[in-house]
Structure 1
């Protein structure tokens, strides 16, 4: 099986260790993994802020780059949902049909997590208008990419049938289901089933786990006080579990949560599901992955005085999903 890794913008830029963990894990399970270097953003942030033409071009590019692969694995529920849910709508809009609204559940931020945001301009969903000189691609081109795209836990369980991936992680862990993975992809208990089979791992339930962490891409920019309050509630529930690590399928949400955790000096780490599943009894590899994530998060985010997660330049972070 020829498998391609779509690493996503957030992971490639801030958390490359997550992409490396996916490759390590899939190769351990016998997959031939490629990383097409021509890959770019999936277009989620463009679509969700009303730039349909730009989003459409990126969707077409995605389809071109990943053509010919049996499966495309994405370590992000947000970006996987973009390809599976929004690409078909963009294709219908390009052919004059209906569809192509601004993100999952109409959210305006490129995280698209249960928190609202700015609408796509009126009438934009009704039809995509190519720019002058831009060829109108076949409508089904980008839509056909969707069925071959899998979020990591989907691929492990639904395609490979592997619940026990040979991981070892002797820590107390709680799992946060991000909104796109929960409501968009409907991953259900897939991540939990994988975590339950990790040797040494103690999995503890997260109270009110289905509540949004408050990130939501541009929602955190437009509504920073509400975003920070929602994250404070999430962090309080995480700390109540006594977990050493909070795990999720989206690094964008973990970045938001991690900023608040560090500001409160909670001593709780954030880790992507892939990093836990790639961990083995080799302490050097696991320690290196954790150190790399810590450096990336410290460089990428600081906590503002109101608790909102901000970049070092002071702007609230957004995500491509994610």
Structure 2
């Protein structure tokens, strides 16, 4: 599952997931019928409008052993909010399909460590990197230190600590639109901490957060690049994903 933002703005992230999983021997399919997971609607209270998207999700992804996506926020929606939408709809068949499909949906680092049992994915990325744990992956999914463990196993990579790492970057989906000033202030704090870390690259598991952080860093001419975790893990040469 590539997710909307990756499909529209960061197709390279989805391609990186495919390269990485194929390198690890996983049989990959990309269902072209996939659409939005419904997160924007659910998070803004439009639960009834989310029903067709949830129905499409279970129809498109229901037959697979696992559904892997490079987004903790989208996985959080599927695993924790699809059931709410299905129950509200009153459609017992949809609720049953959600109950069967949702547990098979994994954030990338979860799938690598918990399903494949792999820590060293054979990546090479010779740069100083700081890791930003996104809110949904940290608090809703509880991915814990899985991304850090994967990064620590990347050859050539120096993982530096990010001050106040668990603080929100301020994106928060529609929060950034409805509360722009607060969002920018939070993001500015995050960028200051990233610069303090001395990292060349900041990495996270959600491109939505990286869009917010990367935009602020660009305006500040911080000289730090925002890169998705999948792209680093898929990298096997100095040129791929280099700042």
TM range (shorter): over 0.9
Name the counterpart of 1:65.
60
**Superposed CA offset, 1:115-172 (max 9, x none):** xxxxxxxxxxxxxxxxxxxx87442222321110000000000000000000000000
The 3-state SS of whatever aligns with 1:150 is: strand
Deviation at 1:290, TM superposition (A): 5.5
Aligned length: 243
Name the counterpart of 1:237.
193
Name the counterpart of 1:299.
none
Query: Is 2:42 aligned against 1:47?
Result: yes
Name the counterpart of 1:205.
161
Which of 142, 165, 168 is the aligned partner of 1:186? 142
**Superposed CA offset, 1:235-260 (max 9, x none):** 00000010000000000000000011
Question: Where is the helix percentage greater, Structure 1 or Structure 2?
Answer: 2
Q: Distance in 1 between matches of 2:14 and 2:124?
A: 19
Query: Is 2:7 aligned against 1:12?
Result: yes
Q: Distance in 1 between matches of 2:148 and 2:198?
A: 18
Listed as ranges, the gaps of 5+ residues in structure 2 are none
Deviates more, 1:26-35 or 1:84-93: 84-93
Query: Is 2:171 aligned against 1:215?
Result: yes
Q: Which has the larger radius of gyration?
A: 1
Q: Distance in 2 between matches of 1:51 and 1:146?
A: 20
The 3-state SS of whatever aligns with 2:129 is: strand
The 3-state SS of whatever aligns with 2:81 is: helix
Which of 134, 149, 155 is the aligned partner of 2:111? 155
Q: Distance in 1 between matches of 2:242 and 2:81?
A: 33
Deviation at 1:222, TM superposition (A): 1.0
Question: After the TM superposition, which residues 1-322 of structure 1 pair with which residues of structure 2 at under 5 Å, given as runs?
Answer: 6-95=1-90, 137-281=93-237, 283=239, 286=240, 289=241
TM-score by length of 1: 0.73
Q: Distance in 2 between matches of 1:262 and 1:206?
A: 19
**Superposed CA offset, 1:179-201 (max 9, x none):** 00000000000000000000000
**Superposed CA offset, 1:169-226 (max 9, x none):** 0000000000000000000000000000000000001110010000111111111111
Does the aligned pair in 1 maintain the 2:62–2:97 contact within 8 Å? no
